[in-house]
Chain A
C-alpha cells in the first residue's frame, strides 16, 4: 500500500475508539485519507503530512472536534487521532460514492445538468453561509473542498480542518487561485475571514457554472512553471476578469479557453451581472463583494427559470421574471419557447418567486417562505409539481403534493378545492391559495 500508513496499523483516537487502517483512499495537498475501521463502523481518517502536522494545525483540529458541528452538508472532524510516527490526524465520515469532485465535472466525466449545477451552487452558498453565521471562516474554499451529486445537486463540503473562528490569524494553505487579492498581495491588516471567503466563493461558483477560472484569460498563457511573481500579479496585484467589460486585455483565448466562452454565453444575465461585480469592483473593494444572500436569491431565481428546449430537450437558463428577452438554445440554436409562469407570492414581506412551468416543474417548500433559511429541492420538500394528464397528452395540471387543501379560482370566478394528491388543470389566470397566506397565479408569459 502506498502512503504513510500501512494497512492493518492500529491507532487510538482520543475519543477512545480503536482505529484500524484498511485502505489508502488518496493523497492531497495537506495529507492522506484512509478508510479505517472503528467500533462505530467504517470512517475516513485524514492523516497530515509530517511537515504540516504542526501544533497550530493540531489546535485547529481539536477546536473543530469540540465544536461538534452537526450538519449533513459537512464532513466535519469528529475525533482527534494523536501522534504516530511524527504525524496526527482526525476521523470523519466517509464520503458517499454519489458525491463527485469538480475535476470530474471539468473533465466531462459526469452526466449532469444546468439545474443540478445551479442547485449545487445554491447549496454551496448556503453551506458557507451556515458556517459564516456561526462565526466560522472557512479560509480555504476551493474546488478541492466541494463534492456534489451530479443528479440532485446535493453538496458535501470536505476538508473542514481549515475552518477557523473568525478573526483567527492562523496561516492558510498555499493556493492563490481562490485567495482574495488583498491576501495574495498581503496587504497590511488583510486577514482571512468571511469577506475574503466571499471572493473565494464567487470563484468557486464561477468554476462550477463556467468550468473555468474567472481570472485565467490570455495572461495566464505566458506564465511559466510555478512563476510565483506572475501568479501574484494574476491573482493579486492586477487581477483582471476574463469578461471585464472595460478591459479585454485578459479576455479568453478562442482556442485555449473555448469552454468559458460557451458557458458564459449560456449563463443567465442575472448571474453574469453578479460575476461582473465580483470580479471587477469586488476585486478591489471587499465591501462590494456579492453577499451570500444575493447569490442565494439570484441562483434560486435562475433555477426556477430553467426551461427545456422544445427542439433538442437540453436545459437552458433564461432570465427570471416576466417578459425575459428572447434566447436561443445553447445546444441546437433553436429559439426557446417559454412555458407559462407561476408567480408565487409569500406572506409578508411578500416576496415573489417566478417559476417557469416547464415539464415536471416543481414548487418547493422554500418557495412559500419570504426568506427561507435553507433550500431543499428534494422530494421531501415538494409542494406541487406540473404533471401531464394521463390520458390526454399535452394537457397539464398542477398536482397538490402538500398536506394543505388548496383553493383555486379560475379567471371566470369559479372556485374549486384541490385536496392533497389532486390535480388542478393549468389555465392562464388560475389563482391558487396554497394555505398559510401563500398565493400562486398562473400567467401565460
Chain B
C-alpha cells in the first residue's frame, strides 16, 4: 500500500463577531498529513459570557493542547496495519483520548489561574477547581489526518463537514438533537470527556480518502437562514476550490467569514484541509458551475432567520462587520492571521 505521497493543503481564518469586545475563537493547523507528520487542525469557541471571562484563553489552550496530542496519536497510527492495532487505536481514540485532552486542558487552565489570580479580599474563599475552570469554558473541534486514518473529535457546538471521495457531504459529528439556545457542552463541564464525540474513519485507499474536511465554529452555521445553508456553503467551497484553486479561496475566505459574522453576530472561524485531486472530479460531484460558490448565492444568510439574529448585532451591522480580529481589542497575543 503506498499512501500519503501527496500532502494535504490547509486554509483557515477567523473573524471577530460584530459588537464583540474580542475574538473568543481560536484555531490552528499543523503538519502535512504524512505518516511522520500528521495533519492536525482544530477550532475552538470560547463561551464568552461574564461567567466565562477567560474563555478566549480557554479556547486557545484547547487548540494548543489538542494539536500535539492529536499529532502524537496520528504518529502512533503508523503501524496500524499490524494485527489488533486498529482496534487499539480506535478504543484509544474513543475512550482515552478525550480523557487525556480534558485532563491536559484542565491542567493548563488551572495553571493559568494560579499564575493569574484575581485580586480578592483576603478572607475570600478559594474557588473550587470546577469554578475556576468555568472561567475558561470553550468548545473544541479537532481532527487528525494521516495516510491511513482520519479521526475527529468534538465537544460542544460548531460543525465538522466532510466532502467524501465521491463528492457526498457528511456531517459525522452532528448531534442527534441540536443544543437548545446558547447552551452547549463544554470542556469546562464536570466530566467533559463524556461529552466528546468521535469520528473514526480508517483509510485503505488514498482515492477513497475525504476530499475536503471543514471545521468551523457555530458563528458560520448560525449565519445561514435555511437549515441546509451551511451544507450548501461547504459544497460550494469544495466546488470553488476545484474550480478556482486554493489561492483564490484563501484570498476570499476573510470576506466570507466577515459576511457570516455579520449575520450570526458571532466570532466566526473556519479551518479546512484539502486533498488535492489527482484526477478531474468525477461526474457525480457537485459541478462548480451548478453549485453556488460561497460568497455568491449560498453565502451566509442573505436574510437571517429571526431566531438567528443575535441581540449583539448593532443597528449598523455592516459597519461593525468590518472589524475583523486584527482590530480586536484583546491581548496582542490573541490576534490571528487569517491564513496558515
Contacts and interface: CB of A to CB of B under 8 A. Distances in A.
Contact of B92 (A6, A49, A226): A226
A316 B68 CA distance: 44
A2 interface: yes
Nearest to A6: B166
Interface string B155-183: 00000001011101010100000000000
Contacts of A52: 83, 86
A175 B73 contact: no
A30 B80 CA distance: 11
B94 A174 contact: no
Contact of B202 (A49, A106, A144, A258): A49
A102 to B, nearest CB: 10
A226 B89 CA distance: 8
B204 A49 contact: yes
Given A29-B91, A225-B72, A255-B130, A174 B204 contact: no
A108 B195 CA distance: 9
B73 A174 contact: no
Contact of A1 (B90, B94, B166): B166
A226 B76 contact: yes
A2 B170 contact: yes
Given A2-B170, A255-B129, A173 B87 contact: yes
A388 to B, nearest CB: 36
Interface in B178-219: 190-191, 194-195, 200-202, 204-205, 208, 210
A220 B92 CA distance: 13
B88 A1 contact: no
A144 to B, nearest CB: 8
Given A107-B194, A225-B76, A177 B91 contact: yes
Contacts of B88: 29, 173-176, 226
A51 interface: yes
A28 B81 CA distance: 14
B208 A4 contact: yes
Nearest to A254: B129
Interface in A157-195: 171-177
A421 interface: no
B6 interface: no
A225 B100 contact: yes
A256 interface: yes
A313 interface: no
B194 A108 contact: yes
Given A30-B87, A177-B91, A256 B204 contact: no
Contacts of A38: none
Contact of B86 (A1, A49, A256, A258): A49
Nearest to B94: A103
A225 B86 CA distance: 15
Nearest to B128: A255
A221 interface: yes
A174 B76 contact: no
A408 to B, nearest CB: 50
Interface in A17-54: 27-30, 49-52, 54
A174 B130 CA distance: 35
Contacts of B82: 51
B317 interface: no
A1 B99 CA distance: 30
A390 to B, nearest CB: 39
A29 B86 contact: yes
Q: Is the interface of A mostly helix, strand, loop or mixed?
A: loop
Nearest to B129: A255
Nearest to B196: A107
B103 A221 contact: yes
Given A1-B168, A2-B164, A172 B100 contact: no
A107 B76 CA distance: 27
B72 A1 contact: no
B83 A259 contact: no
A106 B198 CA distance: 14
Interface string A223-236: 11110000000000
Nearest to A173: B87
B85 interface: yes
A2 B87 contact: no
Contacts of A223: 96, 100
Given A27-B201, A51-B80, A258-B190, A1 B87 contact: no
A220 B208 CA distance: 37
B69 interface: yes
Contacts of B129: 255
B84 interface: yes
Nearest to A259: B191
A27 B87 contact: no
A136 to B, nearest CB: 20
A258 B80 CA distance: 34
A226 B77 CA distance: 10
B201 A2 contact: yes
Contacts of A106: 194
Interface in B293-309: none
A173 B168 CA distance: 32
B103 A27 contact: no
A93 B163 CA distance: 30
Contacts of B200: 27-28
Contacts of B165: 2
B103 A174 contact: no
Interface string A388-399: 000000000000
A259 B76 CA distance: 30
Nearest to A5: B208
A29 B204 contact: no
Contacts of A258: 190-191
Contacts of A6: 166
Interface in A374-430: none
Contact of A28 (B90, B166, B208, B210): B90
Given A1-B166, A225-B72, A174 B87 contact: yes
Contacts of B201: 2, 27
A225 B87 CA distance: 15
Given A52-B83, A258-B191, A175 B91 contact: yes
B166 A51 contact: no
Closest 7 CB pairs of A and B: A174-B84, A29-B87, A174-B88, A29-B90, A173-B87, A51-B81, A225-B72
Given A29-B91, A174-B85, A174-B88, 14 more contacts: A2-B164, A2-B201, A27-B200, A50-B204, A51-B83, A52-B86, A107-B194, A144-B91, A171-B83, A172-B84, A173-B88, A223-B96, A226-B89, A256-B99
7 contacts: A1-B168, A4-B208, A50-B204, A172-B84, A174-B88, A175-B88, A255-B130
